[in-house]
Every structure is written in structure tokens, then in C-alpha cells.
Structure 1
Amino acid sequence: AKDYLKKIAKDNAEAHSEIATTIVSSFASDPKAMKDAEDYAGQAAKLGESYEYYYTYAIILNQNGKKDQALDAAKAALEMVKDTDRASSNLVMVLIRKLQEG
């Protein structure tokens, strides 16, 4: 995955996000794999500047025990979507509430 992203898809947010979510679904109990998923999701968020990527990044950060960073990523997702898509905005707000409640 690393070689593919470095050589072929280094600027492709969707590829980074897909690999991150695949890692999470297959290796959620492996800390090293989850760190890689976090890195890929973070890169997707930077590259894609889309609420979906920040939402995914927030979820992975939370799974990795980084609740404060997850909350920041979720808030960034909300800023991107709050005035344009009510359903997506509500989805992100549910995540933010979950993160704030613990």
C-alpha cells in the first residue's frame, strides 16, 4: 500500500482514504496498522479537503485514542458541510456529540 501511494497515487485523496478504511475494517486490532490507517486518512483529508475525508480521519483518530484530535477533525468536517448538506451536517454533529460525551 505504501509503495502504491508513493509511486502512483501520492496526490490521490480517494486512494488514501480507501486504503485507510480497508485497513480499519481488516486490522482494527493491530496498533501498527491502525497508525498507518491514521496517516493515510490524515493525508486524504489534507489532499481532498472534503468533509468525508475529515469525518473518516476523525473516526480513526478516535479509534486510536486521540479524542481531542478527532474532535478537531470532526469540527473541520462540520465547517465544510454545515451550510450545504443538512444530512451530512447532522451525521458529523452526531460524531461531535459522541466525542464530546466521551
Structure 2
Amino acid sequence: MVRAQLLAMPGILFAGYKVPHPLEPYFILKVQTDGTKTPNEAVQHACSELIKTISSITEQFKRGFGRAEMDDSTDLRQGASMGIHQPWATSNNDYVDFQ
């Protein structure tokens, strides 16, 4: 994700990573910029943007999940009363369709 965020930023000429060995818990990140900002600044900015994006997704998920819980009782009953067979729509609330 960091690599993709870096490559989406202007001024980044190269961004890549490698995991030297799967049993060793570290990776090597290489970043080359055009000089408008240092690689360290670019990585910090990319990480900040990712945190914002993930926070936004989390909020959307929470809002959608809360709305789905409120609508859950009416949606499933309406589908059942109309004779719609939905094997995934069980009473265990194990499925939610986010739009």
C-alpha cells in the first residue's frame, strides 16, 4: 500500500520494496524522488495519506454497518414476505451488503 501511494504522488521517480527472506520480519523500501522532497518526506507524506484513507474507509464502514443493522429487520422481513429466497440472508446477520 505504501508503494502504491508513493507511486501515485508527483515527484516520485521510483518506489519499490523487497522482502529478503520470508522468515525474517523486515523489508527493504527504496524510494527515488526528483528532488522536490526527500525520500523520507515522501514516505512520511504517503503514510499520512494512507492513514487518512484508512480512517475514511473505517468511518464509512461503521456508518454503513450501523445503517445496515437498523435496516436489517425490515429488509429481511420484506424479502421473505415477497417470497424471495436468499440463502445468504440468514437470521444470524452474517451478511451485509454495503453500497
Fold match (TM-score > 0.5): no
Query: Shorter-chain TM-score category?
Result: under 0.3
Query: Given the two structures, how large is their TM-score scaled by the length of structure 2?
Result: 0.26
CA radius of gyration, larger in: 2
Higher helix fraction: Structure 1 or Structure 2? 1
Query: Given the two structures, how large is their TM-score scaled by the length of structure 1?
Result: 0.26
Higher strand fraction: Structure 1 or Structure 2? 2
